[in-house]
Chains A and B, each alone.
Chain A
Amino acid sequence: MRKLGGILGLMVLFGVCTFGAPFRVAVILPSTINDFAWSQSMYEALVAIQEEMGEDNFQFVYSENMYVIADAAAAIRDYATQGYNLIIAHGSQYGSSLVDIAPDFPKTSFVWGSTAQTFTELGIHNIFAYAPHAEEGGYVNGVIAALLTKTGVIGGIGPIKTGDAKRYAAGFEKGIKDTRPEVQVNYTFIGSYSDVALASEAARTFVNAGADVLTGTAQMTVGAISVAKEKGIFWLGYDVDQSPLAPTTVVASIVVDWTVALKPIIGMIQEGKRGGEILPLTFANGGLKLAFNEAALEGKLSPIEIIELKATVWETVRKIVSGEITIEVE
């Protein structure tokens, strides 16, 4: 009872503080806020939260292009010193920096994304984590791809075989196999988040091998999207709605809505919790969304075919949400 009283007292104290000052967030991004992928989706999430809470209550700053881990670590430490309430390290490569820095700033909360690890086992209790279930998005895109392909050849282009990219690829392949087992799918990793030329060459090689639907994750895929556009084949996107890049090419995008993880984290911090929680992003909790771009199909499929396709896809999403479809990844 006394313990509960203590917590309540702390909450009151904290509440007083938070009512006086705005909630301040700093975010470290590996690429630019307009990369049409990973970093942009996080930036958009923070803008959305700010609109919701109001600029007086929520402020955020960002450091983009932090692809050098040492630079990122320095920025994280700077922000922590400046007394930000929450510091978001938006990239799995920043984990070791957080383990190093977080214990020095016990009053500050950190978020590590995207992973399913908060280092409580190391005695660190001020790190949150968020983990998009990229395999769910991959699965849905896989179903779409299987229904779209006429040649029966589908390709995927990833950066490095780890984290979200790996989970997305596994889901994508399973989505295809569950829908049309005879379809041939190959997923290639080009070893870089920035090599646009190699991503584009991988796309061309897929086209030469007969592929008529492509997908991929990370910011270097713009090269591949541009090839898909040039060759008149379909592209399935991830992270943000990529259809503005190529309106007649991008059929669907899995949009990651980070607010679904960030809002609860902000709430927990305001209630006095510092870390230790892992927040999933799924279709079920709205962390993943499907942005369907019907315009890309017009003239290529008949209206009835389009309706059938959409029905199957939404049915798949419903089944994932209800748990009728589960996707296991290692």
Chain B
Amino acid sequence: MIGATLVGIATSAIRLATPYLYAAIGEAIGQLSGVLNLGVDGIMLMGAFTGFYVTLLTGHPALGLLAAMATGASMGLLMAFISVTLQAEQGISGIGLYLFGLGLSTLLFGMTVGTVKTVSGFPQAPIPGLSRIPILGEILFSHNPLVYGAFALVPLAWFVLNKTPLGLKLRAAGQNPLAADSLGVDVIRVRYVAVVLGGVLSGIAGASLSIALLNVFQQNMTNGMGFIAVALVYFGGWRPLGVLAGAMLFSTVNAIQVWLQVQGVKIPSDFALMMPYVITILVLASMAKRRIHAPAALNKPFERGGE
């Protein structure tokens, strides 16, 4: 019984962490290049909607995913244009982008689908062999393809950021864009690439809800997940592994909270609901003294010679 419970909580946590992982790693990439994008939630909503709608029309979740990625890319491009080219204040532009995504996804949903519908999204895909391993097989290897994708993204992002010339340029653009520019790195282009990539990942994050985990769309269905994702980036100290740890902590506490209520443990539901947020804040506060600093040029528009 206890074993089954722990398996259930762990499986829940992994599922719940999926959208956060995509969104937070995308956000981390953007922030490492020096652009704070608070519009993640809006991009997720647009990704969730287009993914859902295209899947509904075509019956192919893979096409839905592509549509969500394209939507995320264009929203990222818009953010990059506003914050990098026009050099607008990043925090405000991001919030604008969020409201835009929230409004547009609600409007488009109302115009096209209108009512509650379900789609057949990506099916569960237990990995042959591995999923038969007792306990671990169920926790780790009996999920939706997009869940595997989210976890595969962690080492991939780590590798790209730390082991490739693109990662070096990207981090340099966020730490010291003047230095990068003086060595011929096209800071503007690097930031565009990072923000668009972040948009694509946020689009996938939305699609992971609407065509993989839930298979429905509702207005504002992300319910602020994008903002939690931004917090997870700080939590994770701008490192993919840190983001993974943060996402897992948050989703595990959330899974435990759900489980406690389902088991009828008599704690006030409001208190249980606070738990994930309280614990996140406590951990963040306890880590405030860590010597991990935000990218030095985060939130600063780049202009050549603009010392």
Contact = CB atoms under 8 A, between A and B. Distances in A.
Q: Do the two chains touch directly in the complex (Cβ atoms below 8 Å apart)?
A: yes
13 contacts: A31-B219, A34-B114, A34-B115, A34-B116, A36-B116, A65-B219, A161-B269, A197-B223, A198-B258, A201-B12, A208-B4, A208-B8, A223-B216
A66 to B, nearest CB: 12
Interface residues of A, number: 37
* In the A-B complex, the 7 residue pairs with the closest CB atoms: A188-B261, A208-B8, A191-B273, A186-B264, A34-B115, A189-B269, A195-B223
Interface stretch (B80-88, B92-100, B126-134, B207-215): B207-215
Interface in A185-212: 186, 188-192, 194-198, 200-202, 204-206, 208-209
B254 interface: yes
Interface in B213-228: 213-216, 218-223, 225
A226 interface: yes
A97 interface: no
Given A34-B114, A245-B116, A197 B269 contact: no
Given A196-B216, A200-B213, A226 B262 contact: no
A186 B262 contact: yes
Contacts of B259: 205, 209
A327 interface: no
A73 to B, nearest CB: 20
Interface in A204-230: 204-206, 208-209, 219-220, 222-223, 226, 229-230
Interface residues of B, number: 37
Contact of A205 (B8, B216, B269, B273): B8
Contacts of A190: 258, 273
B239 interface: no
A196 B209 contact: yes
A245 B118 contact: yes
B40 interface: no
A226 B118 contact: yes
Contacts of A206: 262
A191 B225 CA distance: 15
A197 B16 contact: yes
B216 A222 contact: yes
Interface string B69-80: 000000000000
A189 B261 CA distance: 8
B216 A226 contact: yes
B243 to A, nearest CB: 19
Contact of A223 (B19, B214, B264): B214
B116 A35 contact: yes
A196 B210 CA distance: 10
Given A186-B262, A198-B223, A219-B218, 5 more contacts: A36-B116, A190-B258, A194-B223, A201-B254, A208-B12
Contacts of A35: 116, 218
Contacts of A222: 116, 118, 216, 218
Interface string A22-56: 00000000011011100000000000000000000
A192 B223 contact: yes
Given A208-B8, A226-B216, A188 B273 contact: no
A309 interface: no
A246 interface: yes
Contact of A209 (B15, B255, B262, B269): B262
B116 A194 contact: no
Contacts, number: 104
A155 interface: yes
Interface in A49-107: 65
**In this complex, which of A192, A198, A204, A220 has the most chain B Cβ atoms within 10 angstroms of its Cβ?**
A204
Given A201-B12, A202-B262, A194 B218 contact: yes
Contact of B214 (A31, A65, A197, A245): A197
Contacts of B5: 209
B105 interface: no
Interface in B13-42: 15-16, 19
A197 B118 contact: no
B118 A204 contact: no
Nearest to A189: B269
A229 B262 contact: no
Contacts of B263: 186, 209
A191 B269 contact: yes
Interface in B225-246: 225
A190 B102 CA distance: 22
Interface in B96-111: 106, 110
Contacts of A246: 118
A328 B168 CA distance: 67
Contacts of B220: 194
A219 to B, nearest CB: 7
A65 B106 contact: yes
Given A34-B115, A186-B264, A205-B259, A220 B4 contact: no
A156 B116 CA distance: 20
B270 interface: yes
A36 B115 contact: yes
A186 B118 contact: no
A204 B261 CA distance: 13
B279 to A, nearest CB: 15
A241 B280 CA distance: 40
A206 B11 CA distance: 13
Contacts of B4: 208
Interface string A228-243: 0110000000000000
B262 A155 contact: yes
Contact of A201 (B16, B223, B270): B16
A47 B263 CA distance: 42
